Structure 1
Amino acid sequence: MSKLDLADAPERKIPFNDLSIQWRQIAASVRDDFETTFDQSAFCLGPFVERFETEISQFLGARHAIGVNSGTSALHLAVLAAGLGPGDEVIVPAHSFIATLWGVLYAGATPVFCDVEAETGTLDVRAAERCITPATKAIIPVHLYGQPADMAAVKALAKRHGLTIIEDAAQAIDARWEGQHVGTIGAMGCFSFYPGKNLGAAGEAGLVVTNDDDLAAKMRSLRNHGQSERYIHQAVGYNYRMDGLQGVVLRRKLPLLGAWTASRRELAMRYSERLAGTPLQLPAVRYGEHVWHLYVVRTPDRDRLRAALAERGIETGLHYPVPLHKQPCLANLPSAGQGFPSAEAWASQCLSLPLFTGMTFDDVDYVADTVRASY
């Protein structure tokens, strides 16, 4: 890889993300709603959260939507509602953000790693099946980077072995598999509204959805200190309530999500067209409708390419450079000592290029031209 000639390079900055563009589209309406929220002191749950829950359940086609304070909390509630605990094993992909398995550990159950597909980075169902033991009770497919996992294979596996499916759709709001929104395919689906997500809050927030009335009732109670009636606590609960102000922001962004998703797809297509023929391994779309939370390329020259892009003012990301089975805090898990070659290849080679709402084709072309010039 050659060093870029910067002599004639214009001074230009391409951020990895620019959340201010989304804010400017909703600022006026949100400020009015903030006034109402403060006037009503509706800071924890409250009417704006309830309206958001109703509207996003309709958007996703889910019977129930339970707003919480983070995607991590959503996953924890789903694991608890599924009745998982000590002695139970839950299959998780070795290549994901660590929050995928926090809920499993919080509940006292045991995460069991499996490898991911070499092409997509999503859970490899054949590898998952080799992990199943009599203690296996659930599986958490991750719709990684906005790409649906192979849900046909996941559903078939779960049916054969009697497993509960908890979808980690934290990066995949509005992605669909066979026309159905991800997150609504398994028993429960979990979403993150961390600010950088395709649908992002103004802080931390999350959601868990289900079509099961009993599971929904459990999770609503658990998110609010284990109470369904005020000051009557039927279970050990948690303070996982969504803030009213986050309900305001998310409710105003939700009607714009479809257009934002379409824009992300156009930008991703532009990247793929402009980067075709380079040594990079470009992202593949194999299952359903990708929403491009991240545009992740792969190359053994990842670190040198990243440095070359940085020289030209282009910010990039690493999602994720250390696979879960190599995380220090997880070293005591029984499956941590195993090898997961596809997960390890993704971790060592992945590079996330800028892609965000409001990015232009000109921005994409600048990134792509810089990549081409670096080889």
Structure 2
Amino acid sequence: MKKIALIYISTGTGGCSEVVRQIAYKLSLQHDVTVIANNELRNYFYSTKFSFSGVHSSLINKSYFLRFLRFIIRRWLDKDYFLKQKLKVIFNKNQFDIIHLHSPFALSIFELKWKKESKLVYTDHDAIYNIKIKHHFNIDLNYSSFLHNLKNLDGITSPSERSLKRLIKLTSPSKQLKYEVIRNGLNIPNKIPNRDLSSIRAIFPGGSNSIKGLNKFIYLLESTSVELLQDIGFRLYILGECEQFTKTYINESWLNPYIIFAGHLSSMDYNKILKKSNVYINFSESEILPLALLESLSHNIIPFVKDVGAITEILSKDENCIIVSEDSFIEDFKKLKNINFLNNIYENNKLISSGFHWDKISNQYSNFYLLLK
């Protein structure tokens, strides 16, 4: 049994917290696990199987102005002094076998002196080529510190082979680094429902923050026509928080009758939406392997997605999904009219989610830890 610290400190919406929670729960069946994460996520991470330490207020769901104001204050006050003091106390009181960081921000503020005899691991959940973009999700990221700590890791994992290769290029070539592709997982439903493909009921999870791609998708959808949307019986459910600008734009456009703002949903309501949907849309520029994609696959919902992260590593174009290009959007969108084409994808995907069960994923992490000698 190993003593493991999983660190997930987010400056955004905490979108990968479900990944970390599932990993923590499954690992806690074999190891002594402590989750160190945002105070706001304390109730979310509540478990009798593993312990939790809350260390950071991320201003989740606060305005961009407040995030930017905090960014200025932090730079003036020498970055994350108070957060680091809290982390210092935790690492002084505890000796971990494995310290496993699960966010770019956590890696950027980590101090190597806390490592002591521990093995330091980083799992990349965001597309590394976006790590320097100054959007509100990583406005706090100290990139030089991120790179410095990246060169001193003992292990790196990523859900995507190509993202892992990008990370490895940034590490120290002289260090004996262990690395492995470990996908995200999901809880597979007992029964996959049958789908009616005669009309398109699409979901767009994640709302409309700048890197989810909703605004880009809406602009492209406007290049289609009323006749096409009516022909396929199109309805789009936007799940999660949606910026007022995006709501106003849609409400004033001809697309308004075809789009429903579902907002934040309980697990029960989310499952109801999944059961009546047949197309999953992802235009994200950052997520390597979204849980929403895996959940959609487990319910045999057809992915209509951009080629980002691990998506085309686990799915084949026109066999398991529709890969969308901005240059050929209308052509790609018209594929939703072809019932035979959609049925082929539907049949091909019936068993694809079975390879992503959380038990398998946690065993991969446990085996990876054993390699860090």
TM-score of Structure 1 vs Structure 2, range by shorter chain:
under 0.3
Q: With structure 2 as the length reference, what TM-score do the two structures score?
A: 0.27
